[in-house]
């Protein structure tokens, strides 16, 4: 069975779920905590991703042709 | 809140997955976070191929992660090139993991972009238009350095892994 290793603390797990649920011995944070995963710049990274998503949704809305009712 | 995203790397015959890698150093061994000084690529050879993926461990209340892109910023040393399976068109589906070696890998033959691609070049569930609406991972990003016999070790550049998030 494939092993899962926490790249920060080095702990080993038999499953991905065990990795996701663990509290890292080095950061004292869960693997799902954004600081653990993305470091001190996590807010900037998240903000950028959300902004790109928002910009794309707005761009797609603007490009959508207006629907016309059937005659 | 927003999504939590990490980069994972698979190594070995057993596809051991190191989560949240701290670097993508390329070298003459199959290991995550490798020491490139201790494992220099033999000039004229390829590095061990890397299999990495973008992994969403928590959605943080967002509804979708998509538009995955990977590219390298910065020049390589000498006449080295950087190949990958990442591509913006004619994506052949998710690449199957194989124990990394220094040989060429079928499908890992595109030039790694050196600027942000205009559209997704990393697939999700085998498609460039795929998305994650819950926790999960992208398809594997496979990449490898191809060196020339006259190349010398020591070049540094930056790998970029980008995603869009819809709240």
Q: What is the pLDDT of residue B34?
A: 96
Q: Which residues of B touch A26 (CB under 8 A)?
A: none
- Determine, for residues A49 and B16 on separate chains, whether the beta-carbon distance falls below 8 Å: no
Residue predicted with more confidence, A71 or B151: B151
pLDDT digits (tens, 9 = 90+) for A31-54: 999 999 999 999 999 999 999 999
Q: What CA–CA distances, in Å, run from B14 to B10, B57, B85, B97, B135?
A: 9, 22, 21, 10, 23
- Given a cut of 90, whether residue B154 has pLDDT beyond it is no
Going by the DSSP 8-state scheme, the letter that residue B79 receives in this structure is T
A65, pLDDT greater than 90: no
- Of all residues in chain B, the percent with pLDDT exceeding 70 is 100
Phi-psi region of B129 (alpha: psi -120 to 50; beta: other; left: phi over 0): alpha
- Does the pLDDT value for residue A70 go beyond 70? no
Q: Average pLDDT, stretch B101-127?
A: 98
Answer yes or no: is pLDDT of B55 > 80. yes
Q: Do A37 and B21 touch (CB under 8 A)?
A: no
Which residues on chain A are in Cβ contact (under 8 Å) with B10?
Answer: 2
Q: What is the DSSP string of B102-113?
A: SS--TT--EEPP
Instruction: Give the CA count within 13 Å in the CB-facing half-sphere of A41.
Output: 5
pLDDT band at A2 (very low <50, low <70, confident <90, very high): confident
Q: Which two tokens stand for residue A31?
A: 């693997």
Full-prediction pTM beyond 0.90? yes
- Give the number of other Cβ atoms within 10 Å of residue B142's Cβ: 24
Q: Give Cα B68 distance to the centre of its chain.
A: 11
CA B102 to chain centre: 16
User: What does the pLDDT read at residue B150?
Assistant: 86
Under the banding of pLDDT at 50, 70 and 90, the label for residue A57 is: confident
Three-state SS for A34? Answer: helix
Task: For residue A54, list chain B residues with Cβ-Cβ distance below 8 A.
Answer: 166-167
Average pLDDT over residues B73-78: 90
Pairing of strands B81-84, B50-58: unpaired
């Amino acid at each position: 069975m494939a092993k899962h290793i926490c790249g920060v603390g080095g702990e080993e797990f038999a499953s991905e779920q065990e990795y996701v649920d663990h509290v890292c011995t080095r950061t004292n944070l869960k693997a799902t905590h954004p600081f653990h995963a993305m470091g001190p710049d996590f807010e900037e990274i998240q903000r950028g991703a959300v902004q790109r998503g928002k910009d794309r949704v707005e761009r797609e809305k603007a490009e959508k042709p207006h629907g016309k009712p059937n005659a | 809140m927003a999504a939590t995203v990490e980069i994972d790397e698979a190594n070995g015959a057993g596809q051991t997955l190191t989560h949240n890698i701290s670097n993508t150093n390329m070298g003459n061994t199959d290991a995550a976070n490798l020491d490139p000084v201790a494992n220099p690529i033999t000039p004229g050879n390829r590095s061990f191929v890397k299999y990495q993926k973008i992994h969403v461990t928590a959605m943080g209340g967002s509804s979708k992660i998509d538009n995955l892109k990977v590219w390298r910023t910065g020049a390589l040393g000498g006449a080295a090139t950087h190949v990958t399976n990442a591509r913006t068109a004619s994506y052949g589906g998710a690449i199957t993991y194989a124990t990394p070696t220094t040989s060429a890998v079928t499908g890992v033959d595109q030039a790694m972009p050196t600027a942000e691609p205009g559209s997704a070049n990393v697939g999700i569930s085998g498609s460039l238009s795929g998305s994650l609406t819950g926790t999960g991972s992208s398809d594997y990003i496979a990449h490898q350095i191809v060196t020339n016999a006259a190349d010398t070790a020591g070049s540094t550049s930056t790998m970029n892994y980008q995603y869009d998030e819809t709240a």
